[in-house]
Structure 1
């Protein structure tokens, strides 16, 4: 947009705001992590990282036992400005209440990660759906990583759903 300054003069155009997503990237609405490529620092048995983004709260990722810290990561396909993540464990009553100590980090290149939410204890309680939501600062993120450093009910990191929502 230009402003008229009088005597036929106009100001320089106002710069266009920088987009918060990668050009050509359409993350859509809802959970932008579902069905995307997931990896982890380790897993046990058949509990691979892909279970955390498959849309099924009854399947889950579980890290190697007694090997903290452990992480699960999803490649969103392009940089997205995230507003929150929702983490879930299976809703079954067989899962006791537990607190997992975890941090959320993000990266645009998959190698240099910055902190989106520092380490804290988050309680997963079957009485409230075994769900935790963490609000994030708007930050351009392609690779979203959850790092688990403790679990009060099991000696491993566990996530049945890693959901990410654009801001």
Structure 2
């Protein structure tokens, strides 16, 4: 709420919302407000309020963020799915479903696209994982964003699946995996989350 001054309101009116353009994405801005009367007297500045603009559309909100899981096999922990390397991956405990992988985006954000990847190596056979996408603002109460669906990961097309959905405000995103045709566990090498 910096930038050009807002139009003055008639005396007694309360300004509920001011829109400011020209701000950079993913940037914190601090705002204060002053008032000026007809005689030119200016009030002291209000308390400062800091807001961060939404990230750029193509920014992966999950990259490098904190993760958690229902469990993992050997060294295949949940953090592997946000490290930017499609050759490392999370693999849940074997032969037990359902399993889940979760990322904390750090703050509530509007999201509408999830890109899931498995290692692109041809050593990984095509497989279908059945999973649902859940979201939460507090990390305890989760709502379904996308219901349980089978997604096919094929090395011939990069072992990548993109899911788009209505814009949803969440801080935590969870994948709940109930089946995998290629291995008896949930698997994810990258879970990329975007605002659009």
TM-score w.r.t. structure 1 length? 0.86
Matches within 5 A, 1:86-105: 86-105=115-134
Contiguous gaps of at least 5 residues in structure 1: 3-8, 18-22
| Matched position secondary structure for 1:71 | strand
- The SS at the match of 1:154 is coil
Question: Per-residue CA shift, 1:109-156, capped at 9, x if unaligned?
Answer: 000000110000000000100000111211111000011100001000
Establish whether residue 130 from structure 1 lines up as the match of residue 159 from structure 2: yes
Question: Which structure would you say has the larger Rg?
Answer: 2
SS in 2 for 1:24: strand
Q: Distance in 1 between matches of 2:154 and 2:144?
A: 25
RMSD of aligned C-alpha atoms?
Answer: 2.4
- Unmatched tracts of structure 2, length 5 or more: 1-5, 19-49
User: 1:113 aligned to 2:142?
Assistant: yes
Q: 1:122 to 1:14 in 2, by over 3 A?
A: farther
1:26 Cα deviation from its structure 2 partner:
4.7
Relative distance call for 1:73 and 1:166 in structure 2 (3 A) is: same
Q: How many residues align?
A: 159
Residue 16 of structure 1 is matched in structure 2 by 17
